[in-house]
Structure 1
Amino acid sequence: MLKHNLGYPRIGIRRELKKACESYWGNKIDSKKLFDVGKQIREENWKIQEKSGMDLIPCNDFSFYDHVLDMSLLLGAIPESYKEIVHDTTNDDSSSNQKIEIYFAMARGIQKKGLDIKAMEMTKWFNTNYHYIVPEFYKNQKFSIFSRKIFDEFEEAKKILKSIPKPVVIGPVSYLFLGKEKEKENFHKMDLIENIVPIYIKVINSLKKRGSNWIQLDEPILVFDDLSKKVVEAFQYSYQEISKHCSEINILLTSYFDGISENISILREFSSSINALHVDLIEDPDQLEKVLSFLSDTKMILSLGLIDGRNIWKNNYVNSIKNIERSIKVLGEKRVMIAPSCSLIHIPLDIEYEYSIHSDIKNRMVFAKQKIYELKDLEDIMKGNKDLLSQNLMSLKKTKSSFLFHDQKVKEKVKQVRDLDFQRKSPFNIRQKKQNKKFNLPVFPTTTIGSFPQTKEIRTLRNKFKKKEFSQEEYEKKIKEFIVYVIKKQEEINLDVLVHGEFERNDMVEFFSDKLKGFISTENGWVQSYGSRCVKPPIIYGDVTRNKNITTKYICFAQSQTEKLMKGMLTGPVTILQWSFVRNDQPIFTTAYQIALSIRDEVKDLEDSGIQIIQIDEPAIREGLPLKKKKWKFYFDWTVKAFRISSSVVKDETQIHTHMCYSEFNDILPHIENLDADVLTIETSRSKMELLESFSKYSYPNEIGPGVYDIHSPRIPTVKEIFDLIKKASNRFPIKNIWVNPDCGLKTRKWNEVMKSLKNMTKAAKIAREKLLNNPILNNNQKS
């Protein structure tokens, strides 16, 4: 029974990767130092896994920015716009400096050396909070091996490890599926399968020549329940070709994030082409019997995803052992492997670095390092060590009766929620008239999504306050100085609706979780979100309630410093839930409603304090959507209710905004409308507002703020670019319903970038008012 891992966190225990990348981008270190840091992280990861007794240790799971972008470079899938960087780059090893420049330009954009190229589109990795760079595809596109990273890291791992490493790559069908066609007519991205598979065959055979005996091909799209005929045919072609041309190497086909029961019939067509199949038994334990029935007629090995790769709670060894025993009974011990459910990049590295968590809570938690040791425990239990099983049972049992985890008053409060708690007093068209009369804003009103740059000075201030080097009074005085500064800056560039900057907030979720009962925060529980962006997801261990006001003090102070409207900024209940590690001992919707009731109290406090516009951010609603459509109805039932519990307490005249990130809305627009927010702001600039086509076809009735510039890139957008995007939006929506705003919050950007970009944004809005308001050729639009 082999133990293996699908992938390990790559940021480093002290976020060494983040610091190295940002130093490289800031010209503080050269590429050699950057590569040295990457090598050090990889070596440490391999040694940790080897020490745990892992049989198959992954390589090529490390990335300087994103593993999907790594695949694009490996396959030479580099868009035309980057050819100016590519033209003098060769495929030999000496070109690594140029390649890393191309790589980061694709991820972040570039505005130097006479070049001005936007970053590639970025979106969420399935239903996680990880982001990937979306590949771009063109009709008749050719592929070739461009990057040597996968081969270099395999050779590097061979020198470190006593066993042969297992290279990890995204499978050809999922890679194409995750990309986007840039030519719409007579072209489907799956048409490229015959062009791309030969490159995969070259990569696999090159690894085989170097000594590889296993390769992991990730095909997570196998969990979808609506794969098209083209996708099914692509699977059949790909794996039959790979099997035909790649002998004497074991192919491990992996799926994760849900079950594959609906797609077993696809696998039948090429079951002899793969040596092992990995399934996720955390997300779908019920699939096991169907998978076993299928595999019993094949020679395939079954890899059981038993350890939760997306949450931090201890494994229930009893359940895992039952699944192992059942699988061995059907297939035999030699045809069973055990592993985490998915890559461990979604969880923190090592709980040994947490010193302040209550022992009863910490005793239930495990991070990536501890999870790979859980595999060793399961192996030892199967060999007869029943003490490990008893210890695991005892630690889990302790949770059920602890007062730390359960609050009966909170549970009763959720039970008392009624239908009226989900409803605004009046429909949107009535609310809009009241709000327009009250606010008297210009057409194309400008605002931001909320946060402003979190400089080193601000982070140092918060850290010193946390260490009690500042008194409460000194800290509040400093924060208010930052707020006054950001209000003046916003007034200088003539924004219409202002924000207070969120300088008191470390993270949009962690800030609230720190002040809600039932949550804990970690000291070093960092997880990669995208590139160098790391977050520390809070942990929901018990029943959630709000004991006191969280935001009113600073937002009301900010409103007192300006005559313009000030937005109250809150994080929504679904996002707080999705971006936390959630307790697994009660239904997820129960926890969502507990959080929603806490945010509802905060909304009411803001309104009672005179705040007239309140933004409840829900960037995670789309990302949490189940991958199987049959589960959507239940999901939207509780997520929409949770949002409406939090937002429906206000009067008609109070305007509710919400913000969503990286969202493919096509299939879910009725549910987005059902949130009943007065204003929806969304990210659209990287895709050149392609997303708005869905909204306009659907005739989205409420107000909308399509992001007009990409905040995830340091590139400064021009006035013309922003105006063109406003004009594009005006062709799709009534002008009276359009807001002008950036794609997302500005906390990760620098002040000089922010001010130049926002000045260009307000200039573009002014031009739009002059040129578009009375333009007779604007389709389907009427000024109010």
Structure 2
Amino acid sequence: MAKIHNLGFPRIGAKRELKHLLESFWTGEINETRFIEQSNALWLNNLQQQAVLDYVPVGDFSFYDHVLDTSFLFGNLPQRIKDHGVSELDKYFLFARGKAGQDLCCENAAGEMTKWFDTNYHYIVPELDKNTAFSLHPERLLQRIKIARSQGYEVKPVLVGPLTYLYLSRSTDNTPVLDKLPDLLTQYSLLLTNLAAAGIEWVQLDEPVLATNISSEWSMAFRYAYQRLSDTPVKILLANYFGKLNENLSLVAELPVDGIHVDGIKGETEAQYLADHIQAPQVLSVGVINGRNIWKQDLRKVLKQLQPLQEKLENRLWLAPTCSLLHVPVDVTSEDRLPAGLNNKLSFAVQKINELEILRDGLNRGEAAVAEALAESDEIAGLAGTALAQNPLLDNDNPQLKRRLPFEKRYAAQQASLKLPLLPTTTIGSFPQTQDIRQVRAQYRRGDLSEGQYKAFIEAQIRLCIEQQVDLGLDVLVHGEAERNDMVEYFGEHLDGIAVSRFGWVQSYGSRCVKPPIIHADITRPGPMTVEWIAYAQSLTEKPVKGMLTGPVTIINWSFVRDDIPRADVAYQLAEGLKDEITALEKAGIKIVQVDEAALREGLPLREEEKGAYLQWAVNAFKLATSSVKGDTQIHTHMCYSEFSDIIDAIANMDADVVTIETARSHLTLLDAFKSTAYPNAIGPGVYDIHSPACPAKETISNLIETLLDILPVEKLWINPDCGLKTRQWSEVLPALSNMVSATALLRQKLTQTA
């Protein structure tokens, strides 16, 4: 009899309940006791929505981040966090997001944040050094297990595996992270023993690092680690996801674990291989429901693929999503804004659990038992739509992809036109999204405000934003994006072929949630999307105002794209629409246009052999969108929270005039790639971390800029924050930017004196 389980469920709640709890706790509206009580109620509701599973996951629910939870579980806290005399929960959030002290401009204590493999989810990077000593703190996990078991659930704890945890860690003193493996395994062994004592039979250890090209050293570490853990009194389900195992397949098949989970959609042949090679009583868990996209599966087709596996494995066959459902929204039944018929084609987390139930019943009881559900699946299988027959982006010599002038000549023309000083200061784009702004947007959407009233309000917000930037002394201004709910969702609302859900929220990090648009048809631009607002902002000042667009690859990577359309074709369609928008901005007198590709690195395949094809169409899509501009029109792009070393050549090939990147939170480590390859164009490394409420001191920014001057040519260096400011308060933004501008002015003066 096949069984069904889940690798993880969305934490945030169908209406972002966790977000509101977190923000209420951070602002002091609720105390720690109330926060714990209400978040536990949300977690229990998550369990109820998975009640049909044979095993429900415990350990997947997190207040902020599951990797951060693992650091606390094993006592791996930096000394700066340990030294704070606050509660464990306050230490947890201090590590996650930093905290301002008595002095508004205190230092930031937050941990580095970066992307979880090739997703838009951000995790807090564990920190290690030669003195790191792990210790076990399982109380919260054991308490949740006890509560879940008391309510009748068969529980399967879900943990980040020891090798993936170390692989994602950062050594602060160059101590090899694998040196810490024996000590960490001691604590894992102790934890697994404690879980067995609590009545646990199965424990899921997530090792998605196996979907990457690991070295022989790491392969040996896997053998060593799981041999040690095989002595513990629980059954271990080793879970790989986000891609195929490829050369790691034989390694996994040989590990002494009790079960193996693989992606049965990307790695169907790998599931077949493991079914032939695992030994009784080992279990094979097959990810048959896509945990990263929202389209319903063709359940009849999946059943036919599973039947040979069931005949071979019988009750040793488990069914699951490909990965945690953290990456999809909670429930599609609340949607009431989508185009007619689209709802019936979609499957959010709750619906994916239902799909698993149908597959289990179809295997165990026969297709006749689920005939009605299969008939419905037949109706949605094979989505209707057309894509472009040819994709000119694949031709790198296409003249559409080349700027009219080489960078040095362009940049000289731009500087002559813009008349910017050394070390130009700017921001990434967005300014605080206040409660008033969100409320007015909601009123306008409901029809409670006229178009004229809404326009007058947004213009007032733009005027305020421009005035504040002029007062601060910034050199290149932005309009603040008061009209935008999200940098991708906004464009989804203004392009045909893209739908925007009402409650399709997905966690990006902590309390930050996004609502990925749904690309369901061919994409066209029916008219201007940003020109009115940008042109109005430019009319208020003589300083240049940047036009702000989201790039084609970021729109794709932060959307749910139809499964049957090649992503390169979607990128081409988006690029054509954005090219038309840039032309319209130029005609409106805009001299600088920023085309954000924040998610370029995020979409990079985990396997080396697959990266080249992706980067080719991704870079060419950006170039198609931007290459028709005049030589004196300056093109900016922004990238955030990513490792850049393996895509630096691709970034250079994008040929943006200025690229702004995150560097402050990662202590300039992300700048190494740009330094080592002598990046040819202009660059704006972020000089302070906007994701923390801590305000950077002027001296700190000044020291950071001086460090940057030792690395990068001064004539190509821009000064800016790490990312957009929409999640911050004006009371945080103004002093931080003031310190940034003041620090830059002092360094300009120093450079002038020494020239």
Please classify the TM superposition score into its range, dividing by the shorter chain length. Answer: over 0.9
Q: 1:256 aligns with which of 226, 229, 241?
A: 241
Residue 617 of structure 1 corresponds to 596
Residue 657 of structure 2 corresponds to 678
Deviations 1:135-187 (A, max 9, x none): 00011421001352211111121122x23211110010000101100002xx2
Residue 288 of structure 1 corresponds to 271
Residue 93 of structure 1 corresponds to none
Contact conserved, 2:54 with 2:154, CA < 8 A, in 1?
no
* 1:471-482 alignment runs, 5 A limit: 471-482=450-461
Q: Secondary structure at the match of 2:602?
A: coil
Separation in 1 of the partners of 2:645 and 2:313?
Answer: 46
Displacement, 1:716? 0.2
Q: Does 1:228 align with 2:251?
A: no
Residue 118 of structure 1 corresponds to 109
Deviations 1:410-456 (A, max 9, x none): 76897999812211111111111111211121110000000000000
Flag the 1:137–1:373 CA change in 2: closer, same or farther, 3 A. same
Contact conserved, 2:639 with 2:662, CA < 8 A, in 1?
yes
Q: 2:164 aligns with which of 167, 174, 181?
A: 174
Contact conserved, 1:484 with 1:558, CA < 8 A, in 2?
yes
The AA in structure 2 aligned to 1:9 is P
Q: 1:650 aligns with which of 623, 629, 652?
A: 629
Deviations 1:351-374 (A, max 9, x none): 111123234211110110010010
Residue 133 of structure 2 corresponds to 142
TM-score, normalised with respect to structure 2: 0.96
Which deviates more from structure 2 when the two are superposed, residues 723-732 or residues 417-426? 417-426
Q: Does 1:433 align with 2:412?
A: yes
The AA in structure 1 aligned to 2:329 is P
Flag the 1:269–1:302 CA change in 2: closer, same or farther, 3 A. closer
Contact conserved, 1:363 with 1:395, CA < 8 A, in 2?
no
Displacement, 1:81? 1.1
TM-score, normalised with respect to structure 1: 0.93
Displacement, 1:546? 0.4
Displacement, 1:121? 0.3
- Among all aligned residue pairs of Structure 1 and Structure 2, give the percentage whose two residues are the same amino acid: 43
Q: 1:206 aligns with which of 191, 194, 215?
A: 194
Residue 24 of structure 1 corresponds to 25
Flag the 1:751–1:411 CA change in 2: closer, same or farther, 3 A. farther
Q: Where do 5+ consecutive residues of structure 1 fail to align?
A: 90-97, 776-782
Q: Does 1:103 align with 2:82?
A: no
Separation in 1 of the partners of 2:714 and 2:683?
Answer: 10
Separation in 2 of the partners of 1:298 and 1:191?
Answer: 34
The AA in structure 2 aligned to 1:364 is K
Q: Secondary structure at the match of 2:711?
A: coil
Displacement, 1:4? 0.4
Separation in 1 of the partners of 2:138 and 2:729?
Answer: 31
Residue 191 of structure 1 corresponds to 179
The AA in structure 1 aligned to 2:699 is K
RMSD (Å), alpha carbons: 1.8
Contact conserved, 1:424 with 1:650, CA < 8 A, in 2?
yes
Separation in 1 of the partners of 2:372 and 2:267?
Answer: 25
Contact conserved, 1:317 with 1:392, CA < 8 A, in 2?
no
Displacement, 1:663? 1.5
Displacement, 1:332? 2.1
Displacement, 1:767? 1.3
Separation in 2 of the partners of 1:140 and 1:590?
Answer: 51
Q: Does 1:9 align with 2:1?
A: no
Deviations 1:543-592 (A, max 9, x none): 11101110000100100000000100000000001000000112111111
Q: Secondary structure at the match of 1:322?
A: helix
Stretches of 4+ moved more than 6 A in 1? 410-418
Structure having greater relative contact order (Cα 8 Å, sep ≥ 6): 2
Displacement, 1:752? 0.6
Displacement, 1:282? 2.6
The AA in structure 2 aligned to 1:362 is N
The AA in structure 1 aligned to 2:4 is K
Q: Does 1:596 align with 2:575?
A: yes
Q: 1:399 aligns with which of 383, 403, 407?
A: 383
Separation in 2 of the partners of 1:214 and 1:379?
Answer: 19
Q: Does 1:216 align with 2:197?
A: no
Contact conserved, 2:503 with 2:515, CA < 8 A, in 1?
yes
The AA in structure 2 aligned to 1:399 is L
Separation in 1 of the partners of 2:181 and 2:242?
Answer: 24
The AA in structure 1 aligned to 2:252 is L
Residue 57 of structure 1 corresponds to 56
* 1:362-401 alignment runs, 5 A limit: 362-382=343-363, 383-386=365-368, 387-388=371-372, 390-397=374-381, 399-400=383-384
Residue 257 of structure 2 corresponds to 274
Separation in 1 of the partners of 2:237 and 2:17?
Answer: 31
Q: Does 1:465 align with 2:454?
A: no
Contact conserved, 1:141 with 1:195, CA < 8 A, in 2?
no
Deviations 1:743-778 (A, max 9, x none): 000000000100010000001111121224565xxx
Q: Secondary structure at the match of 2:237?
A: strand
Displacement, 1:388? 4.1
Contact conserved, 2:107 with 2:696, CA < 8 A, in 1?
no
Q: 1:127 aligns with which of 97, 118, 123?
A: 118
Separation in 1 of the partners of 2:675 and 2:745?
Answer: 24
Contact conserved, 2:82 with 2:91, CA < 8 A, in 1?
no
Contact conserved, 1:261 with 1:290, CA < 8 A, in 2?
no
